[in-house]
Chain A
């Protein structure tokens, strides 16, 4: 057992090599948009969601994503789920594991109880099996204009001003945490207000807005305000705080949303004062 130079992970008992540990019962949420009959299958299923249970063998390194892959390869090839990087960075694999939002690639069967139930992310519409519709989130993301806006040209990043775009480490600290978001939408599944208020921008979109508005190089806050200071902007948030608890990247979206509320409230207050002065 050698491992890479300077790294001692090879000496950790759990990382040394994968050891088979047994099987676990994995129950998976299933849904097909059109009935199976329409698809040419003889199985009269479809329309209504249902659950399928599988006995899945696992070892020390089997993640939920691996388990789903095993089911697809060995038991039911029609199972649909999203997975890509397998290292917690692309944000594709969010789903509910025993009722709580998790990244499938970072959640391991060895850490879960013997009965594991897997369902699509809560509060979002299901397209098929474990696949949710991310379109509303992408629309919200576009609405908050997630890019740096220079003072001269407020609709785009002005490369000619790159000299002025220098930043100190201290300035970077103001937004760096919010820049870690991978758009996995675990926070949307944890947020009851996302469930209640369909058009709510939601934790991650507001966090991305703050990631840019708190950047010393950005001058776009005024352009983001119409989206933030709207009925479906920052105000549906009642500070439940669950978004920050489930975030796999330590982004603390709840903090970003509260800061966004301050930005919106300040803009309203100064707007009122300015209007009075004009009179």
Chain B
């Protein structure tokens, strides 16, 4: 007896609707999401590059100079610019969505999302300012 014979008598034959392979091109929202996910690839390669810089520096001046020269290669410059754009996209969209996970209730009202977003930008700028200050040797 086949499986078919053992099924209860029913005319049901649900039709599956698999996602098309290009689903991520469907709407602007999906496209942005796909771009955000793709940014991880660029970031990963960038991090490897930075790790390589540290290794090159520890090996001495010659390897460090070679790493620096490599950074000036047009392909690497283009890659770095794309990575910067990707990081910005990642941060901006992240700041935009984070109020969904952070809910602040002030008495009988919910803190508006725009305030939470603004607070994140403020925090980011403070950190950036501190870093620049440190990089300039702690002098103002």
A residues apposed to B, CB below 8 Å: 31, 33-34, 38, 47, 49, 99-100, 120, 122-127, 133, 169-170, 173-174, 192, 195-196, 238-242, 244-245, 252, 254-255, 258-259, 261-262
Contact = CB atoms under 8 A, between A and B. Distances in A.
Contact of B17 (A34, A125, A242): A125
A4 to B, nearest CB: 31
A239 B29 CA distance: 11
Of all A-B residue pairs in the complex, the 5 with the closest CB atoms, nearest first, are A258-B101, A125-B14, A255-B100, A195-B19, A33-B13
A62 B107 CA distance: 43
Contacts of A242: 27, 29-30, 33
Contacts of A125: 14-17
A34 B13 contact: yes
Given A34-B13, A262-B101, A169 B29 contact: no
Given A33-B12, A127-B12, A174 B105 contact: yes
Given A33-B12, A241-B29, A241-B33, A120 B17 contact: yes
A210 to B, nearest CB: 11
B23 interface: yes
Most chain B C-beta atoms within 10 Å of own C-beta, residue among A123, A240, A245? A240
Contacts of B101: 255, 258-259, 261-262
A99 B14 CA distance: 20
A34 B11 contact: yes
Contacts of A245: 29
Most chain A C-beta atoms within 10 Å of own C-beta, residue among B30, B37, B100, B101? B100
B134 interface: no
Contacts of A261: 101
A122 B29 contact: no
B113 to A, nearest CB: 10
Interface string B25-45: 011011001000100000000
Interface in B66-100: 97, 100
Contacts of A120: 17
Nearest to A239: B97
Chain B residues touching A, range:
20 to 34
Nearest to B37: A238
Given A174-B105, A241-B33, A192 B19 contact: yes
B100 A173 contact: no
Contacts of B37: 238
A31 B105 contact: no
A124 B17 contact: yes
A173 B105 contact: yes
B19 A123 contact: yes
B23 A126 contact: no
A241 B110 CA distance: 20
Given A33-B12, A34-B11, A126 B17 contact: yes
Contacts of A31: 15
A124 B100 CA distance: 26
B27 to A, nearest CB: 7
Given A173-B105, A259-B103, A126 B15 contact: yes
Contact of A99 (B26, B97, B107): B26
A254 to B, nearest CB: 5
8 contacts: A33-B14, A122-B17, A125-B17, A173-B105, A192-B23, A238-B37, A242-B27, A242-B33
Contacts of A123: 17, 19
A126 B11 CA distance: 13
B11 A192 contact: no
Nearest to A254: B100
Given A49-B15, A124-B17, 7 more contacts: A31-B15, A173-B108, A173-B109, A192-B19, A242-B29, A255-B103, A258-B101
